């Protein structure tokens, strides 16, 4: 209970200004995942099957942050990559706006569904300034734009995020901090005004003080731009801070799910209870 009280206090402090946490049930579903299963196979003759995701179903509403929480190896990234169409499911169905995700052409789909990955540096080429991937983001749009037009949009996006474009544009990745890089990636994903953002451990490479600003940025996008987020983390404290609903994963299965408050304050599954016991405070230095 001590941990829960501390969590609650932290959230009150940090979450000030974000009052719109309560889910509006009447809101429509954006993403629906039904009976998703993924096997990885290895070997040629005696093939071995590894069940990474085992019959998982959940849905994400419009303007909702849905968190997948579980220890390493529980299948979270596999689900994220399947939703991003980077990986094909073995079986199951995924709908976006009521349509099978494979019925969209790739460009259209990736305009609607964008990603922010764990390691922001991996998304940038060290030989180029960070302007290049920002301009490249526009390739997914139908309409061609001039460099000047693109620059305007990029600048406006940074300004909206409370970042000074002059301190960012024209820089090389090594000149920027992990936290700045991660926020640039969020800005990049948002250039396209996606409907869904898949954020896979987006704060794991940033320091504790920046972590909160990354989470706050996602909350702002959710509320002001009606963005939906599939937030993947092994850290229950972050899920509690940012999430509307939460699903706890263990060995490829969802063992418990519901409103964040319900799952965290009235956990039913022993695995969830254990996770709650081992929650690190949000401000504590990251334990890797
Ligand atoms: P998480 O993101 O929760 O750590 P992953 O989705 O990365 O989990 O992995 C789920 C399981 O699938 C793990 O046991 C992992 O070892 C396995 N796995 C992940 N990617 C591959 C792959 N490309 N080939 C074989 N097994 C994989
Ligand atoms: Mg992962």
What domains can you pick out in the chain, each with its CATH number?
A: 2-20+31-277 (3.40.50.300)
CA of 252, closest atom in ligand 1: 10
Quick check: helix, strand or coil at residue 259? strand
Q: Tokens 């993924």 — which residue? A: 38
Average pLDDT, stretch 18-36?
70
Ligand 1: residue whose CA is nearest its atom 26: 40
CA of 71, closest atom in ligand 1: 3
**pLDDT tens digits, 236-282:** 989 999 999 999 999 999 999 999 999 999 999 999 999 888 776 65
Ligand 1: residue whose CA is nearest its atom 15: 73
Choose which residue among 37, 40, 48, 247 to substitute to test ligand 1 binding: the one with the highest number of ligand atoms within 8 A of its C-beta. Answer: 40
pLDDT band for position 44 (cuts 50, 70, 90): confident
pLDDT above 50: residue 288: no
Q: Which two tokens stand for residue 152?
A: 């305007």
Ligand 1: residue whose CA is nearest its atom 12: 52
The pair phi, psi for residue 34, each rounded to 5°, is -125, 120
Q: Tell me the pLDDT of the chain averaged across its residues.
A: 87
> How much is the pTM?
0.87
Q: Report the candidate in 254, 236, 257 with the shortest Cα–Cα distance to residue 3.
A: 236
Ligand 1: residue whose CA is nearest its atom 16: 73
Separation between Cα atoms, residue 242 and residue 34, nearest integer Å: 24
Q: Mark the residues whose beta carbon lies below 5 A from ion ligand 2.
A: 77
Ligand 1: residue whose CA is nearest its atom 10: 75
Smallest-distance ligand from the CA of 90: 1
**pLDDT tens digits, 59-76:** 999 999 999 999 999 999
pLDDT band for position 219 (cuts 50, 70, 90): very high
Work out the burial of residue 153: count CB atoms within 10 Å of its CB; fewer than 13 is exposed, 13-18 middle, 19 or more buried.
middle
Average pLDDT, stretch 94-113?
96
223 and 138 Cβ atoms separated by less than 8 Å: no
pLDDT band for position 3 (cuts 50, 70, 90): low
255 and 78 Cβ atoms separated by less than 8 Å: no
**pLDDT tens digits, 159-213:** 888 889 999 999 999 999 888 888 888 888 888 889 999 999 998 877 777 788 8
Distance 153 CA to ligand 2 centre (A): 32
CB under 6 Å to ligand 1: residues? 40, 50, 52, 70, 72-78
């Amino acid at each position: 209970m001590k941990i829960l009280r501390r969590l609650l206090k932290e959230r009150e402090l940090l979450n000030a200004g974000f009052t719109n946490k309560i889910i509006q049930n009447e809101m429509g579903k954006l993403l629906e995942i039904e009976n998703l299963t993924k096997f990885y196979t290895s070997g040629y003759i005696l093939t071995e099957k590894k069940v990474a995701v085992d019959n998982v179903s959940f849905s994400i509403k419009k303007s909702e942050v849905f968190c997948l929480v579980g220890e390493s190896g529980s299948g979270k990234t596999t689900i994220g990559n399947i939703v991003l169409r980077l990986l094909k499911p073995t079986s199951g169905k995924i709908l976006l706006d009521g349509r099978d995700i494979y019925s969209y052409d790739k460009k259209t789909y990736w305009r609607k569904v964008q990603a922010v990955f764990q390691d922001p540096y991996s998304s940038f080429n060290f030989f180029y300034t960070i302007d290049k991937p920002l301009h490249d983001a526009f390739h997914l749009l139908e309409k061609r734009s001039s460099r000047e037009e693109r620059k305007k949009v990029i600048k406006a996006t940074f300004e909206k995020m409370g970042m000074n474009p002059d301190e960012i544009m024209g820089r090389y990745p090594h000149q920027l901090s992990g936290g700045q890089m991660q926020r640039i990636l969020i800005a990049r994903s948002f250039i396209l005004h996606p409907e869904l953002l898949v954020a896979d451990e987006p704060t794991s490479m940033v320091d504790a003080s920046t972590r909160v600003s990354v989470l706050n940025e996602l909350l702002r996008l959710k509320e002001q731009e009606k963005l939906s987020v599939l937030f993947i983390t092994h850290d229950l404290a972050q899920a509690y801070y940012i999430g509307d609903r939460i699903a706890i994963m263990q060995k490829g299965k969802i063992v418990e799910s519901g409103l964040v408050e319900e799952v965290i304050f009235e956990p039913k599954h022993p695995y969830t209870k254990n996770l709650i016991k081992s929650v690190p405070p949000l401000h504590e230095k990251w334990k890797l």
